[in-house]
Structure 1
């Protein structure tokens, strides 16, 4: 970018706007059909694998599921692309999903190499998620009065423990991780998909969007958590529709919060055409 890390203008939104994002996300899921729902099914199946691997080790499962949520914004990249295509009247199909993921491997003419912004951001989120999984497992195994093997053990000996503050400590540390991750990723990935912005620009824009709209974004974070809890509480079945809705809704959050019209566009599902002022 010619202007280095200059950020696009931001918009203020009413506090109830996140509810509209969910409505639009549900509409996009309906319009995309199985292509969108397949994302939710794949992620729910992955959650099922985690559940099968750690069914007798809930001390690990609790951290693994919450760590999975940390990296979920990267996994939803093709959902942003589908919503973008619907907005533009372009085909929103399986071919676009494939092109979206392959486009990040194509040459970046200005940088003289590959465009690894999505990969780098995904690795950062994966490191954050892994750090939380390890921290959560260490807390529960070292400080719980009895071994935690099942969800009922977790409720009895961690959540409802009378003489322990382990659950409060677990929540506090989880929140301390989740807050900066949410602020960094709220609109960063849709922006990277839509426009030729640097990773630093995208993350700083996401932070500014959250800080400029604290109450609506707090509601948005609470809605995301509520949807995920609903999914977990239904043996992952509700995640099949809810995860695509959240992914599509995140695209609409970006569109409402960020005026990115001054930044060069990325082409839909393909490598962007090089321009003289584009940066990595």
Structure 2
């Protein structure tokens, strides 16, 4: 039976509507995200630089344990939505006609309530779980030790005698899909709305409603996020300086486009 907390979350979620959108609408989110990026370039690119440096730190710590590095980078995709909190706040301020900057980012990260902290902890657990699962899977089933990117490419990705890479991708998709569905609009909504209007579980329920009502556009959105993130990583992480804030701003516009809000 549903408990009081889940019943409250359902009521919160039902107070919001989901707008109908065409399949290609995610391209419009990217266009609006691009505009936001260049209206607040210093704070936006600062987020991208921080994420790229974090990726470089991961590589420095795990370069000789590539089986761990592969899981860590894919786990990074799971926790990225919470890292973009400041970017959502910048886009919100731009929507209001303001002039956002680093002060806007600081205010977004100042914990007035525990909702974003709770969500961040949950995503951190999910990301850590995937890193450990990925590492155990690769090290258990790879025919030879995987020590560096070349080993992973030759012995896993290009190994014609094994379906390890395909299975690893499928496993990652199975584990990441519910996390993605739970965060499509949830974190921007929590940034936008006070605790009395929306809690963590209510935000998750709303995000799942969006996915269930618009599977095709959301699938395209997921593919665009994955493709652009891979490009950012393939450019020795330099591309993430631009791509990470671009996607963060675009995610705000996805939320605003998909969810109808109650009057303030």
TM-score, normalized by length of structure 1? 0.88
Runs of at least 5 residues in structure 2 that lack an aligned partner in the other structure: 1-7
Secondary structure, aligned partner of 2:162: coil
| 2-structure distance, mates of 1:12, 1:157 | 45
Q: Is the 8 Å Cα contact of residues 195 and 260 (structure 1) preserved in structure 2? A: no
Which stretch of structure 1 is more off in the superposition, 128-137 or 156-165?
156-165
CA drift at 1:152: 1.5
Which stretch of structure 1 is more off in the superposition, 59-68 or 4-13?
4-13
Match of 2:103 in 1: 95
- In structure 2, the CA distance between the partners of 1:23 and 1:128, relative to structure 1 (3 Å rule), is same
Match of 2:64 in 1: 56
Match of 1:216 in 2: 217
Secondary structure, aligned partner of 2:146: coil
> RMSD of aligned C-alpha atoms?
1.4
Q: Equivalences for 1:129-278 in 2 at 5 Å?
A: 129-196=127-194, 197-262=198-263, 264=264
CA drift at 1:6: 4.0
Superimposed CA distance per residue, residues 39-76 of structure 1 (whole angstroms, 9 cap, x where no aligned partner): 00001000000011111111000000000110000000
Q: Equivalences for 1:116-135 in 2 at 5 Å?
A: 116-135=114-133
- In structure 2, the CA distance between the partners of 1:2 and 1:217, relative to structure 1 (3 Å rule), is closer
1:31 maps to which of 39, 48, 57: 39
Match of 2:20 in 1: 12
1:43 maps to which of 29, 36, 51: 51
| 2-structure distance, mates of 1:193, 1:168 | 37
Secondary structure, aligned partner of 2:18: coil
Runs of 4+ in 1 over 6 A off after TM superposition: none
- In structure 2, the CA distance between the partners of 1:139 and 1:252, relative to structure 1 (3 Å rule), is same
TM-score, normalized by length of structure 2? 0.93
CA drift at 1:224: 0.3
Runs of at least 5 residues in structure 1 that lack an aligned partner in the other structure: 107-114, 265-280
- Which has a greater percent of helix? 2
